[in-house]
Structure 1
Amino acid sequence: MSVIQRVVKPTTRKGKKVLLSREPQVIEGPKRTLFLQGRKASVKVRNLLNDLYDIKKPDARKLSKKNDITIFENVVPLEELCRKNETPLFVFGSHNKKRPDNIVFGRMYDYSLLDMIELGIESYNGFHEFSNSKISLGTKPCLIFSGPEWEQTDELKHLKSIFVDMFHREYVENVRLQGLEHVISFTFADGKILLRSYKVLLKKSGCSTPRIELDEIGPRIDFAIRRNKLPSEDLMKEASRKPKELKKTVKKNIIVDGLGTTHGRIHIGKQNVGKLQTRKMKGLKKTTQEKTLDKLRKRKSMDSEDHEIRKKIKRTDFY
């Protein structure tokens, strides 16, 4: 039985603009994240969801009501909520006797589950426990992943990719030094993931480069890895496929070195250096003696050519 999908056609200019914004873009903007809780959530889980929501704002949506969802058994209700709120990322909090203080980070592809990883909260210190000044709304954070384990297992690779997608904002080509205000550090040590958040302080150093200090502002979280649901190779390849506009075309005789400098090679024909036009200066002009010598050489060459022609004429037999 085939299901026919209804094609929505815009009737106004604003409706057409909204539909175009929902289509896949060549350069994607910041991805929205949905924050929600399950049947039961502890105070620690709710506070953590609020802190992550404050960091992600304004590209986030938080649901205050509890949801009867068991995410690893049936993910269809969560997919419908993500489709309804137009959020390709989600953070799901829950609490039960078997898995207390539970947080699930996940992603959607075409509003179908791509991957998700379940983490347990071992220790937590929220924003309210730090009396330092907080960062401004919408600040683009600098992400630091410490430890070689982030590139060794598929589970940590996907978790790193989820964190990058979640805290990524607008695409920029240049970064201003004063714009680096927020640093989020992810460290893998002893089987745990340590999340730390710092505010960057620029101090006077007596030179052009300021002295940088990090002031912890929270939240401070220690995660333990629990369950996961990773995608297949074909699905991940389809989800990470780049459009044709972003693929680099190879140009002949052009090389870019490690520092980003472009080097080009030009092929030209053989040149006669003696006939090159130089700058007309008094110092480069020929003297009268050089001119007379050139005239004499030309006369000698002409006389020698005439003499050779005469010899050839005499040797030729006419019949």
Structure 2
Amino acid sequence: MVKLQRVQRPKTQRGKRALKEREPKLIENPRSLLCIRGNKTSNIMKILLRNLHLLKSPHSTMYQRNNTDITPFENTSKLEWYCQKSDCSLFAYVTHSKKRPNNLVLARLHNHIVLDMFEFELNQQTFRSFDDFKCTKFAAGNKPCLIFHGELFDNEADYKRLKCFFIDFFRGETHMKEIDLNGLEHVITFTVDSQTKVISIRVYRIELKKSGHRIPRIELEEVGPHLDLTIRRTKLASDDFYKKTLKQPDAIKAKKVKNVTTNELGTKMGRIHMEKQDFNQLQTRKMKGLKRRAPTGENNEESSKKRKEIDSN
């Protein structure tokens, strides 16, 4: 016999609003992060998880208890269920063991199914948290500026997908018409060494100083966290599944206009098709020097006629 799953319908207005908020939309909400820690976790990994939670807030949820029997690379069903329950499409999972010390797993989901997953090893010696930097922090929820350094981000397939993942993880709001310069308060840099393949993540606060001109002078002050990560394992989506996630609804696709293009900076360029212009019909200023004259062949005929008339008289 096939056991049917019971569907619970909401009985209160609050429950109906919550379900409506989770329905598919043409323009989706910003990706939310779910922070989970394993059964065996060190104090440093707990601090790292809290720092990731603060970086993503207010679009972040953190579980305070340890979770057992979670093996992301063997079975992701439990993590997918947690993400569906909390309405999150990203998760960060930290553990610490003798076999895999200082272990960090980051992943993104599509339709509550794991799309890409990366396992990193944190360098404990170089790690510095928010609390280690005694300075002014940026406001929560602000959109960051992302900068990538390193040839691997453009050449190798795994690091190309990792670059796309980091953009999806940290970018925040996606559909914004305008960005205020004063709202760009922090910048996140990602640098990968081509030899050691260590990924360095740094977070800076942007300070706008007076420059004597209209454009202010910019200075960067590191505010943390200070991370050095090394990739251990990856679990990437297949090409078919990845292409499926890139599809957009027809309602939000920009309609193509003939002879109108937009360059990388967002400037519209138009092309106008005109008929060939006859310069003989061009109206010029009426003066003796610009008086229209007939072609040379016609001038010869007219002059010969005039001579014949004079001779006849």
Who is 1:167 aligned against? 170
> Is 1:143 the equivalent of 2:146?
yes
TM-score by length of 2: 0.80
Relative to structure 1, the CA distance from residue 136 to residue 156 in structure 2 (aligned partners, 3 Å threshold; closer, same or farther) is same
Who is 1:154 aligned against? 157
CA contact (8 A) 1:199 1:217 kept: yes
Alpha-carbon displacement from aligned partner over 1:139-159 (angstroms, at most 9, x marks no partner): 211111111211222221222
CA contact (8 A) 1:204 1:210 kept: yes
Who is 1:79 aligned against? 80
CA contact (8 A) 1:253 1:266 kept: no
Who is 2:50 aligned against? 50
More deviation in 153-162 or 187-196? Answer: 153-162
Return the match for 2:269 from 259, 262, 272: 262
Kindly state the Cα deviation for residue 207 of structure 1 after the two structures are TM-superposed: 1.1
CA contact (8 A) 2:103 2:120 kept: yes
Return the match for 2:131 from 125, 128, 132: 128
Alpha-carbon displacement from aligned partner over 1:277-300 (angstroms, at most 9, x marks no partner): xxxxxxxxxxxxxxxxxxxxxxxx
CA contact (8 A) 2:119 2:234 kept: yes
Greater helix content: 1
Who is 1:110 aligned against? 111
Alpha-carbon displacement from aligned partner over 1:37-72 (angstroms, at most 9, x marks no partner): 111111111000011111111110001111111111
Kindly state the Cα deviation for residue 128 of structure 1 after the two structures are TM-superposed: 1.1
CA contact (8 A) 2:260 2:268 kept: no
Kindly state the Cα deviation for residue 242 of structure 1 after the two structures are TM-superposed: 1.2
- Aligned residue for 1:235, secondary structure, equals helix
Kindly state the Cα deviation for residue 241 of structure 1 after the two structures are TM-superposed: 1.2
More deviation in 155-164 or 59-68? Answer: 155-164
> Is 1:23 the equivalent of 2:23?
yes
Kindly state the Cα deviation for residue 22 of structure 1 after the two structures are TM-superposed: 1.3
How many residue pairs align between the two structures? 275
- Aligned residue for 1:124, secondary structure, equals coil
Separation of aligned partners in 2, 1:2 and 1:242: 36
Kindly state the Cα deviation for residue 94 of structure 1 after the two structures are TM-superposed: 0.5
Return the match for 1:214 from 215, 220, 227: 220
- Aligned residue for 1:244, secondary structure, equals coil
* Counterpart residue identity of residue 230, structure 1: L
Who is 1:91 aligned against? 92
CA contact (8 A) 2:210 2:216 kept: yes
Kindly state the Cα deviation for residue 26 of structure 1 after the two structures are TM-superposed: 1.6
- Aligned residue for 1:194, secondary structure, equals strand
Relative to structure 1, the CA distance from residue 169 to residue 231 in structure 2 (aligned partners, 3 Å threshold; closer, same or farther) is same
Return the match for 1:200 from 206, 209, 214: 206
Separation of aligned partners in 2, 1:231 and 1:44: 30
> Is 1:243 the equivalent of 2:249?
yes
Give the gaps of 5 or more residues in structure 2: 282-313
Kindly state the Cα deviation for residue 236 of structure 1 after the two structures are TM-superposed: 0.8
* Counterpart residue identity of residue 98, structure 2: K
Alpha-carbon displacement from aligned partner over 1:263-289 (angstroms, at most 9, x marks no partner): 153669999xx9xxxxxxxxxxxxxxx
Kindly state the Cα deviation for residue 223 of structure 1 after the two structures are TM-superposed: 0.3
TM-score by length of 1: 0.78
Separation of aligned partners in 2, 1:12 and 1:76: 29
Identity in percent: 39
Separation of aligned partners in 2, 1:183 and 1:17: 35
